[in-house]
Structures are given as C-alpha cells and as structure tokens.
Chain A
Amino acid sequence: MPRKEDRRLLRGEGIYFDDRGRGREGSYVHLVRSPYAHARIKSIDVSKAAALEGVYGTLTGGEVAALTDPYFQLQLPPSNEIKDYCMAVGVARYAGEPVAAVVARTRELARDAADLVEVEYEPLEANVDGRRALDPNAPLLHPDAGTNLVWEGSFDWGDVDGAFAAADRVLRIDELHFHRFSSTPIECCGAVVEYERATGQWHMYCNHQFPGMALVFMAPALRTSMDRLRFVSHDIGGGFGNKVIFHTYLLICCLLARKLDRPVHWTEWRTDNHMANTHGNERWFRDVEVAVQNDGTILAYRMKALDDCGAFPRYEPIGCVVWAQVTAGCYRIRNVHVDFTQVCTNKSPCGPNRGYSRLQHLWFVERMLDVVGHELGLDPVAIRKRNYVRPEEMPYETLNGCIYDSGDYPRALDIALELVDYDAWRARQTAEDGRLIGIGIGSTLDSGTNNFAQAQLVNAELPFSGNNEAATVKLDLMGEIVVTLGTAPQGQGHETTAAQVVADILGVTPDDVHVRPGHDSFFNNHVTFSGAYASQFAVTGLGAVKGAAERLASEISRLAAYLLQADPGEIVLEDGHARVAGDPERAVSLQWCAMKVNAAYADLPDELDDLTLNCRHVYRAQFEPLDVSRAYGNLTLTYSTQIHVCVVAIDPRLGEVEILDYAVVDDCGVRVNPQIVEGQVHGATAHAIGAALHEAFIYDADGLLLTPNFDEYHAIRALDMPDLKVESIECPSPFTPLGAKGLGEGGGGGLHAVAAAIQDAVSRASDGIVTDSFNPPERVWRLLHAPGERPVRLVEPTPL
C-alpha cells in the first residue's frame, strides 16, 4: 500500500525543523568549536562578539557548569565520575567539541560573531588509538575518573575450556578490526527552541528520534521536570541512530532561549555532524580462538573485544552488552568466552548507529566462520549450513538465554544463492579481463525490541527493564478516526502502517484513518522508551496501535450492542458501521456512536459510563527477569534475518573492487507493508556496502578528522550501487501482536558479504586475510601484494 506521507514530501511541503518559523525574524545560533582534539581552555573572551551589531548574546562553558548538572552516567565507579556537559568545561576533549555559542539576527551574522570569539587553548597530547588508551602513559581524558576505561566485563557461557579440549583443531586469529563510520542522514540535526518565562516551559521543534530517552538525560541536567521539556517533530530527514545523542546540543539551545528570552534556531553544519555528533562504535576483536571439529562444526570461541566510544560515553556503555543479543550469530555455538573492554579516546562520541553493537559482532562472527572454513578447506555454504540454527529448532534458546523467535536460514541462503546463480559464478573464478572474482556470504540477524534490562548487565544498579510504546486512537464527534503515536519516525512510514492496522480493526479504509505525523510531548502519548530506533516499530509501535484500536473497537461494540439491542459478541465493524453479524440492516454508523458518547449520552445506561472513544494503549514487551550474575536471559524479542550474497571483481593491479552481482533474502515475519520492508532492506544494504568499500571516519595522529564532510567522506552514491536482487520469506514470530518482526537496521549484511567476497577473490592470488571491515583499494592491494605476516594459525588443542 503506497504511503500517506508521500504527498507532502513529494511536493516539497514536508515540515522539517528548519522549515519552521518562516516570516518572523529569527535568532540563529553558531557554535565555536575546539580545533584541538585535546586542549585546556585557558580563557574565552566573547566581548567583541557580543558587541557586534545584531548579536543577541553568547554562552560559554563556565556558564554551562554553573547552570546545569553533568549528564548522569550509566557506568560503574570510577568511570561514572566522568563529567559530561553540553559544552566543554575547562578542557576540550575532541576536535569539534562546542566551546562557546553565539546568537545573532541572521545565520551569516552569527558566523561573523563566532569568528570574533577569542579562545586561548593550551594544546594537550591527544590519544586517537583505542589500543593505547589503557597504557600507563596514555593521555588521560577524564581526571575525575582517573582512567580512560569506561567499562569492562567478562562473559562466559557453556563449558568453554571443555569445548576447546574436545576440539579437533583450534584456530587463532590475532586481530580483527571494525571501523568507525556512521549513517550520515542528509538532514543534519537541529532545533528551534522557545522558552516561556511565564511557565518555565521549553518547546523544542527538532528532529530527535528518541525523545523518551533524551528527556531522561536532559531534565536532571537542566534541573527541571521532564514535562517542562516538550519535544515536537514532524518530518525528520533520516535518523539511523544518528539523531539520538544530540540532546547535548538541545541543552545549549534551551539555555540560550532562557538566557536571551527569545526563540533560538540552531542548524548543524555537515562538517559539525561528521566531527561532533555521532560515530558508530569502533571495535577490535583480539586473541580470537575458535574450537572446531574437522567437519566444520564450531564448538566454541573466545576473544577479547576492545571498543572505542570516543570522548564521552553518551549512549554507552550499553553497547558493551547489546552485542550479546547475537552472541552466536545465526549459529548453534554453545560455548563462548568474551572479555569486553570499552575505552575513551579524543574522538567524536559514539552513538547507536544503524545496527548498533550487533553489527560489529555479527561481522566478527561471519569473518570467524569464513576464516575457519577456508583453513579447513570447507565451502562457505557448507560450513554455514553445518552450523546454522535449524528451522525446526525455532524458537531457539541460545547459549546465553536469548530466544530466536523464528527463521529459516538455510532456505533463505538457498534462495540468495539461486538469485546470483552461485554455481555459475563458482565455475568462472577469473573474469575475462584478468580480474579476480570472489563470492561472499553474509548471514546476519536484525534483532529488535530490545529488553532495556540489558543495562543491568552493564551496571546492576540501573533500574531499567522491558520496552514500551504508546498510541492513542480516538473516534471524534464527526466520525473521524485519529491516531497519535509516541514514535518520531524518520521515513519508515509509520503513518501508513499504523493506518493499515487501525483500518483493519475498525472496518474502515486507511484513507479514513488520520495519523498525526511526528511526535509531540503535548500529545501526552509517550512513554520512557518512546521513539523510532532499534528495529522495533512493527512490534512496539504497531503493538500499541493495535491495542488502542482494539480498545476502541470494544467500546464501539458495547455501545452498538446497546443501541441495536444485541450482544457485543454479535457486533462486527465494517464499512464505517457497527452491524449485527448476519443482519446488516441492524447497523449504526461510527459517526452516530461518536455523537452518542460525546454529545447525547444522557440516556445511556450506567454500565456504559466508562466509554470515552478516546483509547490509549501502552504496549509492553514481555520479558522474564534476567539472571544478571550469569548475563543470561532474553535480551530482545524478535530476530529478523537477512542473508546476503555478493560477487565482486577485483583489479589486482589497483585493488579496486566492483560488485558484479548482489542478492538479499530477508525474513521479518509477517510483512505489514511489503513495499516499505523492501525499501528498508535496500537502504540497509546501501549503508553496509558504503561502509565496506567507501565510508570511514579517519583521524590523523593529532585527532583531526580527515573526512569531515561529503567532499572527503564518500557516502555511497547512485553510481556505486549494484542492482540488488531481493526476495523475502515470512517466518512469523510467535511472540508479537501481528507476527511481525521489527526490521530496519538490517544487521549490516553487506559489510559481512563484501568482506567475504573480497577474501574469496584475494585467496585466489595470495594468503592475505581480510581483517578489517573497511577495504578501500589500497588495503585490498596490500592484501594481494604485501599481506605481511599471516594473522591466522591452526593449532592443536590443549587437553584439559
């Protein structure tokens, strides 16, 4: 079903935050940002800026420290002593960190004024290598914490030592690296923020995608109540998790709006976005050991993970445990040991970028599987099928108590292989022009509706658990059906799918259902976990919508039963009417029902007193309490699957990679809107291929970002994309209201498949091993011509 959202967006009438406030004189914020990755701020002089005609005011870190409290930290002592404000206070810790703000009558004047702010810096040594962060002489980012360690913990499931002793072979991989990149939505972050002195109320017209969580961080920091912070969004130009941690900038705007007693308008520059908004987590997997049988069965693995979260943990350290949703990937591995360490460095803070933390881990699992298969001389298809969780085992409880709700990985893989004609490609491993052909498989899971109790695995004191979303469906006086959601969509088509669900239940068409676009705290329709993130709308959002629509249907049926002198069980809703089943003449219109309840209720009996026809429902995902001491339990409700197959050709002289063929098979259970599902699969694949071949946040040794905007950061473009062959299977989830499984993030299948394909091609010509998730031509060239010491070794197992 085509989307309701499209009409306004196609006509250029979308309402993005920067479109608001037309025709009135504005006041625009420009931020002064640190040019240094690490520097003491010795002084800030705003006097020349403030004196410029047209400048309304300024804000500095000193004021911020006086007016706000640091954001509360999720991690354990002493790392929870980190002081994180919305601006640098005394020290700048990453290049691009805001140091001062200027507000002026026009955008151009604000920039002029910012140039006049004089900041005296004393540069300090910066560390941009996560692997050095815990060295004794490494620059210390947060003296209050006394360490660059953000979090560390060990995870141990099954009988790891026993599995290694019983193995036929043990494979060692020295180090794998997952690189830093993000989804770079085309619309940058921003807000128009107003403050009402009379009531102490802030109104933030912005594009934050997770208002529920932002409130939890902002309200205590601003020393105000959550209700005083109103989030309003209408259309958002892409999120992908990159519009979650910028509540720090919203706080700057709140302070300015209050201080200057005027609305302020802040628009993030692309360069700011790349330098100082959200990076995806960078992660190393070190000292990897895999216990295998000769037939390719993987018994166990152990490894040390090192995660670099940038200068401040802002959604972190939750990423230190989120990967555990997919510990074993698509496979039946029952014994795992992971030592996980997260550190801070003088780089942009990390946030939950598309595929958050699972992406990194699934890439590692797929790489591990491929390397094992190659060392044992096993075909990548065979080793996967040997180790896949089998469809008859679903729902499948993993080694750490997660439950894979549904899926058929072998069938999805077979379809993907057929789509590219795998056998034909295998037959011709060298192209006519001398290029090396490689075929790679990426099996991945897109876990959705996460259990926020996983925060307890990071810090047992954190009180979070479960997941929720709210929706209201009402029947108005004139028979209008209006839906309000707690989510903040950025293109996922919530208006459309919500209308579909409501229409089905109330017996109307989707055109009869008006879904209010966007999020507004004043709808009073949000809960703590409200937002649009983490592949969950089909479960949480539509679960809330379904629940609200069912409550409304029940109220209508009870009223209609009274009016028609029938039993509520006999009432059916169809064509905008409530009818007695089998007796269509006995009917009452929805409009008449609304009239009765709202304006003509005096003759209704007492037992109908509770009818309001304005029904709110909070969907709550059901989870058992976790066994925190063992890190055991269900961390997420649904697992969508994507199996990717990629065929590449590599020019051995240049290391250039061209994708010749590409297939994806996805399974997200019941597909509420197949066209929207397929669009998400396309988009996730594009992000993953972009990251695999073109996109990276690269820092120099001084901590300056070398890819700060689209001139240098090569976001994947039309000419870079292969034609995608996409098919779906549907394995409904037994756990969700509609049988749908959330999707959207995608699980990074393209990253896994492209790495595997490059490896397959490289293996024709050298013994190089792909150890990095980012493979631009230079790296591929080195794998072919100068691979260096082999980071992979097969050893005999050590008996117990």
Chain B
Amino acid sequence: MAEAGRRVQVRVEVNGRAHEADVEARRLLVFLLRDDLGLTGTHIGCDTGSCGACTVILDGRAVKSCMLLAAQADGCSLRTVESLAAEDGSLSPLQQAFHDEHALQCGYCTPGMLMSATYLLERNASPTDDDIKHSVQGNICRCTGYQNIFRAIRSAAEGMDA
C-alpha cells in the first residue's frame, strides 16, 4: 500500500495564473488540474497513458498529464485546453477549424487533440499530411474516424500560412 500520509507543496503556473496546492505526494497531475484546480477540460480515458485525452503542454512540450505526478510539475508552466480561446471567449483559429470541419462528436478526446495539434502547429507552420497524422498518433478517438480531425488541423495550418 502506498504511503498515504506524505504530502507535497506544488507551485505551478497554469494558463498564465500561479497556483499553489497542498496535495498527496502520489497525486497525479491530471487530478491536480481537474479536482484541485477545477480545470475539467483535461480528460481521463485510460489507466495506461495510452489514449491521450489528458494531453497538456508543460514547459513547451506536449505531455500526458496522467503519467506525471503533480509534484513533478512543481515550478513548471502549463497550458491546458482552457487557454486556447480568447479572453472574450471566441474560439481560436484551431478551435474554429475543428468546428467548421466537424472534427468532434462527443468532445471527450477533443481537448487532447487540440493540445497535440497546438504543439504541432507551434513548431511546424507547414505540416505535411504525414506530420499531421503523427502529431495525433498518441490520441485515440472513437467517434470521428480521424478524417475530419486531419482536415481541421490542415485547415488551421493553412490559415496560419495565409
């Protein structure tokens, strides 16, 4: 049985705001985000770090937040799906592309897809079709068959080029 009592202080910047939390040492990052910080856009879909629904960007890299302890994010800067829309609530170009191309149905994998796509487009403004498919190889979707997700990412990339 794990050491239930041990606690840690975690200081983390999420979507530009500083947070401090006192949590169990074994608390996963995804639970810190969802349960402690109330940011429920990041989702949990599996136990083995396989589905990608929990993808966030940590210090500039796309990571699976279910595969990190909250403690490992101490001192880090995180972005979640809640950071994508503008201050006034309007959708980002990538989100708009997902909407226009019907790249989501149930919406559960969508935050993870958006963060993986964000990570791609911030590093590669002209991705090939292959780049696009690889960018979401770690994100499982059961609704869309991926076709419209590829189209949406392509459309967002082309919008960036223009």
Instruction: Indicate which residue in A5, A13, A237, A717 contacts B137 across the interface (CB closer than 8 Å).
Output: A717
Known: A679-B105, A718-B133. Contact between A10 and B145, CB under 8 A?
A: no
Measured in the bound complex, the distance between the Cα atoms of B35 and A18 in whole Å is 10
Q: Please tell me if the beta carbons of A12 and B144 are within 8 angstroms of each other in the complex.
A: no
Q: Please tell me if the beta carbons of A12 and B46 are within 8 angstroms of each other in the complex.
A: no
Q: Please tell me if the beta carbons of B110 and A10 are within 8 angstroms of each other in the complex.
A: yes
| Chain B residues, CB < 8 A from A8 | 107
A492 within 8 A of B: yes
Q: Please tell me if the beta carbons of B102 and A2 are within 8 angstroms of each other in the complex.
A: yes
For window 84-105 of B, CB contacts with A under 8 Å fall at 84-85, 89, 91, 95, 98-100, 102, 104-105
Residue-by-residue, is B130-153 near A (CB-CB < 8 Å gives 1, otherwise 0)?
000110110111111111111000
| Chain B residues, CB < 8 A from A493 | 105
B4 within 8 A of A: yes
Residue-by-residue, is A174-186 near B (CB-CB < 8 Å gives 1, otherwise 0)?
0000000001111
Minimum CB–CB distance from B28 to chain A (whole Å) comes to 9
Known: A709-B48, A711-B50, A719-B134. Contact between A6 and B99, CB under 8 A?
A: yes
Q: Please tell me if the beta carbons of A683 and B95 are within 8 angstroms of each other in the complex.
A: no
Instruction: Indicate which residue in B4, B38, B46, B143 contacts A270 across the interface (CB closer than 8 Å).
Output: B46
Q: Which of B4, B106, B136 has the most CB of A within 10 A?
A: B106
Q: Which of B91, B136, B146 has the most CB of A within 10 A?
A: B146
Q: Please tell me if the beta carbons of B144 and A238 are within 8 angstroms of each other in the complex.
A: no
Instruction: Indicate which residue in B51, B98, B134 contacts A186 across the interface (CB closer than 8 Å).
Output: B51
Measured in the bound complex, the distance between the Cα atoms of B91 and A267 in whole Å is 30
A676 within 8 A of B: yes
A675 within 8 A of B: yes
Q: Please tell me if the beta carbons of B106 and A491 are within 8 angstroms of each other in the complex.
A: yes
Measured in the bound complex, the distance between the Cα atoms of B35 and A108 in whole Å is 12
| Chain A residues, CB < 8 A from B10 | none
Minimum CB–CB distance from B135 to chain A (whole Å) comes to 8
For window 1-30 of B, CB contacts with A under 8 Å fall at 1-2, 4, 24, 26-27
Known: A13-B41, A14-B107, A491-B106. Contact between A116 and B1, CB under 8 A?
A: yes
Minimum CB–CB distance from B89 to chain A (whole Å) comes to 7
Measured in the bound complex, the distance between the Cα atoms of B82 and A766 in whole Å is 56
Minimum CB–CB distance from B110 to chain A (whole Å) comes to 6
Known: A116-B1, A682-B147, A718-B133. Contact between A687 and B39, CB under 8 A?
A: no
Minimum CB–CB distance from A366 to chain B (whole Å) comes to 21
For window 105-145 of B, CB contacts with A under 8 Å fall at 105-111, 114, 133-134, 136-137, 139-145
Give the residue name and chain of the A residue nearest to B48 (CB). A711
| Chain A residues, CB < 8 A from B82 | 11-12
Instruction: Indicate which residue in B53, B107, B111 contacts A491 across the interface (CB closer than 8 Å).
Output: B107
Measured in the bound complex, the distance between the Cα atoms of B99 and A676 in whole Å is 12
- Interface size counted on chain B using CB atoms at 8 A: 60
| Chain A residues, CB < 8 A from B41 | 11-14
Give the residue name and chain of the A residue nearest to B99 (CB). A6
Secondary structure at the B interface, as helix, strand, loop or mixed, is loop
Residue-by-residue, is A10-39 near B (CB-CB < 8 Å gives 1, otherwise 0)?
111110101100110000000000000000
Q: Please tell me if the beta carbons of A238 and B108 are within 8 angstroms of each other in the complex.
A: yes
Minimum CB–CB distance from A29 to chain B (whole Å) comes to 15
Q: Please tell me if the beta carbons of B108 and A709 are within 8 angstroms of each other in the complex.
A: no
Q: Please tell me if the beta carbons of B142 and A188 are within 8 angstroms of each other in the complex.
A: no
Minimum CB–CB distance from A434 to chain B (whole Å) comes to 24
| Chain A residues, CB < 8 A from B81 | 11-12
Instruction: Indicate which residue in A14, A109, A686 contacts B145 across the interface (CB closer than 8 Å).
Output: A686
Q: Please tell me if the beta carbons of B95 and A676 are within 8 angstroms of each other in the complex.
A: no
For window 666-721 of A, CB contacts with B under 8 Å fall at 675-676, 678-679, 682-687, 709-711, 715, 717-719, 721
Give the residue name and chain of the A residue nearest to B3 (CB). A112
A429 within 8 A of B: no
Q: Please tell me if the beta carbons of B91 and A10 are within 8 angstroms of each other in the complex.
A: yes
A3 within 8 A of B: yes
Q: Please tell me if the beta carbons of A183 and B137 are within 8 angstroms of each other in the complex.
A: no
A40 within 8 A of B: no
Q: Please tell me if the beta carbons of B106 and A10 are within 8 angstroms of each other in the complex.
A: no
For window 28-63 of B, CB contacts with A under 8 Å fall at 31, 34-35, 38-48, 50-51, 53
| Chain A residues, CB < 8 A from B139 | 718
Give the residue name and chain of the B residue nearest to A235 (CB). B107
Give the residue name and chain of the A residue nearest to B92 (CB). A10
Give the residue name and chain of the A residue nearest to B82 (CB). A12
B65 within 8 A of A: no
Q: Please tell me if the beta carbons of A186 and B141 are within 8 angstroms of each other in the complex.
A: yes
| Chain A residues, CB < 8 A from B142 | 183-186, 238, 240, 683, 686-687, 715
| Chain B residues, CB < 8 A from A116 | 1
Measured in the bound complex, the distance between the Cα atoms of B41 and A709 in whole Å is 23
Q: Please tell me if the beta carbons of A5 and B50 are within 8 angstroms of each other in the complex.
A: no
Q: Please tell me if the beta carbons of B43 and A108 are within 8 angstroms of each other in the complex.
A: no
| Chain A residues, CB < 8 A from B100 | 2
Q: Please tell me if the beta carbons of B148 and A682 are within 8 angstroms of each other in the complex.
A: yes
Measured in the bound complex, the distance between the Cα atoms of B91 and A236 in whole Å is 22
| Chain B residues, CB < 8 A from A186 | 43, 45-46, 51, 53, 106, 108-109, 140-142
| Chain B residues, CB < 8 A from A237 | 43, 45, 106-109
Known: A12-B80, A108-B27, A112-B1. Contact between A719 and B133, CB under 8 A?
A: yes
Minimum CB–CB distance from A220 to chain B (whole Å) comes to 31
Instruction: Indicate which residue in B40, B102, B141, B143 contacts A3 across the interface (CB closer than 8 Å).
Output: B102
| Chain A residues, CB < 8 A from B137 | 717-719
| Chain B residues, CB < 8 A from A109 | 4
Known: A12-B81, A683-B145, A711-B48. Contact between A236 and B106, CB under 8 A?
A: yes
Q: Please tell me if the beta carbons of A710 and B85 are within 8 angstroms of each other in the complex.
A: no
| Chain B residues, CB < 8 A from A480 | none
Minimum CB–CB distance from B35 to chain A (whole Å) comes to 8
A→B interface (CB under 8 Å): 2-3, 5-14, 16, 18-19, 22-23, 106-109, 112, 115-116, 183-188, 235-238, 240, 267, 269-271, 490-493, 675-676, 678-679, 682-687, 709-711, 715, 717-719, 721, 723-724
Q: Could you list 13 further interchain pairs (A-B, Cβ under 8 angstroms) beyond the known A235-B106, A492-B105, A709-B46?
A: A8-B107, A12-B82, A14-B41, A19-B34, A19-B40, A107-B31, A115-B1, A185-B142, A270-B45, A491-B106, A491-B107, A710-B46, A710-B51
What are 29 A-B interface contacts by the 8 Å CB criterion?
A: A3-B99, A6-B99, A9-B104, A9-B107, A10-B85, A10-B91, A10-B95, A10-B104, A10-B110, A11-B41, A11-B82, A14-B108, A18-B44, A185-B143, A186-B141, A187-B106, A235-B107, A237-B43, A238-B142, A267-B44, A270-B48, A679-B145, A682-B146, A682-B148, A717-B137, A717-B146, A718-B134, A718-B150, A719-B137
